[in-house]
């Protein structure tokens, strides 16, 4: 046998082994989850005798109903099972036994009333990528401390000083899109990323080349968010984990630079995290900064993408938004400074209702994950310890009992406050998004300049929704944008 044949004989089985590794790991993970689930169910047998599990199907062995969820529109998956089993039902997805709830009362029970019994949870791969000490994965005193620091940087008192910086970013972004066909979602992600960095690091570091390096590392990291957690050279997960290490080092360098300069301003998030009274470690700061970027970028970009779609499809609503924004410009005629102010953003009630209705109809955050920390009984049903619990925000937002004609895009429905616990675009309870004021501000600023100075048209012929993982118009909503002839 020649040397070449011998090498081929040796390499073929090795290559096959590497090809099969992702599937073997998936089977092991699913088998482990199933075994763990059985043990937990056995331990809960006494409680189960008193209260049954909710109705529903656990699907096939090991894989549950994961294939049904991802082979169809997830919206249909949740709606079909709610129609069949009611507002609380069981299933098994992604290797986890789950209880799904779709009533306002059940969502409040899980997220607010008995929040201590349901800890926030994410897939282990997400935790490794973002950082185990990020606020998403915490409960108790440490979570409360992190939330206080985030609110300090994102509450109106701190956010109002960022209007000028956000306006500069919005004007620059729109100018770069002028005359081009753009992927709306991708461009909105860039805009939201820049706003997030401004809020985290302030103005001083924004011009630094280290911020560009941070961006490139983050772009590499996000490519692996939904990849199989196989940390082998060449895989997306491996590349993402290397980028995560680099991000940690970049944040450490920024921290060192700010300490040397003594530049600890109280208006940005980094300064809030660096407060000596709080005594956060550099690793804790890095985990939470990367987590904030993750939370601030995709969700805000998704909402803005849907807003442009809904306004393009509803000319009367676009006209009403434009007229409201033009009134703000007219009030500044003759003034030396025509820049937007915090007070101006409080004179946009109709635009705010458009944002609210977009968040309801699109429901970017379709659900959230919680995990029962002990056996819990709800409305005569058992929620076993260790099971995932998913409040289904989209189902609540699209229920005719909560919103009349729920599929219709109608901002006027928010002229009156919605019923309690029926509108939760930012979640609810102690784990609700602390950056909602900043998100609303960056949307209002962009919409002000977009509607008063530009026009746009939808370029794609296809309609529909894609998931990646948030609900988006198909192909990221391609649009053609151009500046109005009479725009100043």
What is the predicted pLDDT for the residue at 404? Answer: 94
H or E segment at 383?
Answer: strand 381-383
Domain that holds residue 212: 3-483
Tell me, yes or no, whether 207 lies in a domain.
yes
Q: For residues 294 and 132, give the distance between their C-alpha atoms in angstroms, rounded to a whole number.
A: 14
CA distance 124 to 195: 28
DSSP state, residue 415? G
Residue 318 lies in a domain: yes
Residues annotated within a binding site for heme = 433
Specify the DSSP class assigned to residue 418: P
pLDDT at 12: 40
pLDDT digits (tens, 9 = 90+) for 373-406: 999 999 999 999 999 999 999 999 999 999 999 9
> Which residues are known binding-site members?
433
Which CATH number do you get for residue 446?
Answer: 1.10.630.10
How far apart CA 191 and CA 172 sit, in angstroms, is 9
pLDDT at 131: 83
Residues of the chain with pLDDT under 70: 1-49, 70-72, 123, 204-208, 226-228, 263-266, 461-462, 468-469, 488
488 lies in some domain: no
| 380's tokens | 């005569």
Q: Considering its fold, how many domains does the chain have in total? A: 1
Q: Has residue 393 been placed in a domain?
A: yes
Q: State the Cα–Cα distance between residues 483 and 438, nearest whole angstrom.
A: 27
Residues in the chain, overall count? 488
pTM for the whole thing? 0.84
Distances (CA, A) of 200 to 60, 163, 254, 287, 291: 45, 14, 11, 13, 11
Contact 421, 105 (CB under 8 A): yes
Q: What's the pLDDT score for residue 89? A: 95
In a domain, 332, yes or no: yes
The pLDDT value recorded for residue 405 is 95
What pLDDT score was predicted for residue 340?
94
Q: Residue 272: its pLDDT value, please?
A: 87
Tell me whether residue 97 is in a domain.
yes
Residue 330 lies in a domain: yes
């Amino acid at each position: 046998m020649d040397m070449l044949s011998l090498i081929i004989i040796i390499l073929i089985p090795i290559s096959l082994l590497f090809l099969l590794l992702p599937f073997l790991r998936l089977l092991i993970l699913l088998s482990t989850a199933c075994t763990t689930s059985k043990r937990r169910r056995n331990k809960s047998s006494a409680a189960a005798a008193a209260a049954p599990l909710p109705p529903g199907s656990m699907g096939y062995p090991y894989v549950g109903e994961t294939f049904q969820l991802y082979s169809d529109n997830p919206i249909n998956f949740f709606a079909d099972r709610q129609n069949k089993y009611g507002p609380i039902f069981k299933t098994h997805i992604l290797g986890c036994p789950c209880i799904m709830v779709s009533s306002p009362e059940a969502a409040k029970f899980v997220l607010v009333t008995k929040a201590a019994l349901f800890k926030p949870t994410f897939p282990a791969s997400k935790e490794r990528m973002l950082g185990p000490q990020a606020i998403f994965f915490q409960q108790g005193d440490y979570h409360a401390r992190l939330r206080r620091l985030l609110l300090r940087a994102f509450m109106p008192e701190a956010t109002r000083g960022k209007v000028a910086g956000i306006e500069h970013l919005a004007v620059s972004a729109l100018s770069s899109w002028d005359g081009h066909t753009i992927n709306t979602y991708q461009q909105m992600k860039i805009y939201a990323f820049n706003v997030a960095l401004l809020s985290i690091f302030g103005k001083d570091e924004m011009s630094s080349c280290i911020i560009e390096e941070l961006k490139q590392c983050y772009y590499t990291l996000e490519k692996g968010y939904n990849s199989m957690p196989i940390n082998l050279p060449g895989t997306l997960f491996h590349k993402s984990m290397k980028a995560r290490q680099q991000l940690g080092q970049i944040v450490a360098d920024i921290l060192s630079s700010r300490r040397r300069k003594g530049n600890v301003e109280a208006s940005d998030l980094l300064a809030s995290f660096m407060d000596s009274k709080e005594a956060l470690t550099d690793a804790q700061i890095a985990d939470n900064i990367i987590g904030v970027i993750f939370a601030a970028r995709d969700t805000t970009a998704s909402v803005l993408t849907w807003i442009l779609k809904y306004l393009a499809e509803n000319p009367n609503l676009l006209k009403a938004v434009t007229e409201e924004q033009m009134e703000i410009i007219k009030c500044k005629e003759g003034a030396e400074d025509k820049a937007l102010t915090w007070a101006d953003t409080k004179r946009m009630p109709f635009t705010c209702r458009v944002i609210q209705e977009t968040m309801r109809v699109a429901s970017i955050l379709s659900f959230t994950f919680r995990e029962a920390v002990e056996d819990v009984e709800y409305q005569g049903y058992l929620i076993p310890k260790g099971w995932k619990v998913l409040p289904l925000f989209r189902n609540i937002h699209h229920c005719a009992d909560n919103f009349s004609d729920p599929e219709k895009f109608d901002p006027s429905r928010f002229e009156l406050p919605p019923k309690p616990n029926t509108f939760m675009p930012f979640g609810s309870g102690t784990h609700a998004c602390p950056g909602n004021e900043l998100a609303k501000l960056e949307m209002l600023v962009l919409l002000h300049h977009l509607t008063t100075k530009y026009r746009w048209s939808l370029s794609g012929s296809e309609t529909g929704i894609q998931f990646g993982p948030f609900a988006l118009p198909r192909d990221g909503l391609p649009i053609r944008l151009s500046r109005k002839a009479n725009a100043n």
